[in-house]
Amino acid sequence: MQSASLDHTDRKILDLLQTNSGINATAIGERIGLSQSACWRRIQRMREEGVIRDQPVILDREKVGLTTMVFAHVKLTSHGRSNLSTFAEEVKRYPEVLDCYLVLGNVDFLLRIITEDIKAYERFFFEKLSRLQGIQEVTSSIVLSDIKHTTALPI
């Protein structure tokens, strides 16, 4: 995949959009010295090019009752590794798994899992995750505190 050609103004727009999700083209234009229409055209172009994929609402997981975050390191059996895509497709069906990464190193996948509490993670682990075919080992790391969490890219 080729990266998009972004100038300094595009990058300013993107920075404002990702740190102020409710900001509109008029406000962005005022902050960076562009007209509303010129700013809107740039935003539309970046949407069409796929640079801007979405503008989601970010929820506070603890305030909605999801107090436990776990990073699970999943190692597949040698037979399981031949079906990496099968594991990936299965994991996509679980809403508890927010992120799934195929990684290099001593494990095959890194999962970020959110549940209500430790008991809910235990149920998820025994009833869903550990039952997936091809798993050799799962090592879970429970997050004690969020030190830094952002969705903003360093553009």
Residue-wise pLDDT tens for the chain (155 aa)? Answer: 667 789 999 999 999 998 887 899 999 999 999 999 999 999 999 999 999 988 777 888 999 999 999 999 999 998 767 789 999 999 999 999 999 999 999 999 999 999 999 999 999 999 999 999 999 999 999 999 999 988 888 98
CB-based contact 120:147 (threshold 8 Å): no
CATH number of 68-142: 3.30.70.920
Which residues does 17 contact at the CB level (< 8 Å), separation at least 6? 23, 28, 43, 52, 55
As a CATH number, domain 8-48 is 1.10.10.10
pLDDT in the model for residue 1: 64
Q: Count how many residues are written for the chain.
A: 155
- The domain segmentation of the chain, as residue ranges, is 8-48, 68-142
Residue 78 burial by Cβ neighbours in a 10 Å radius (0-12, 13-18, 19+): exposed
The DSSP symbol for 51 reads S
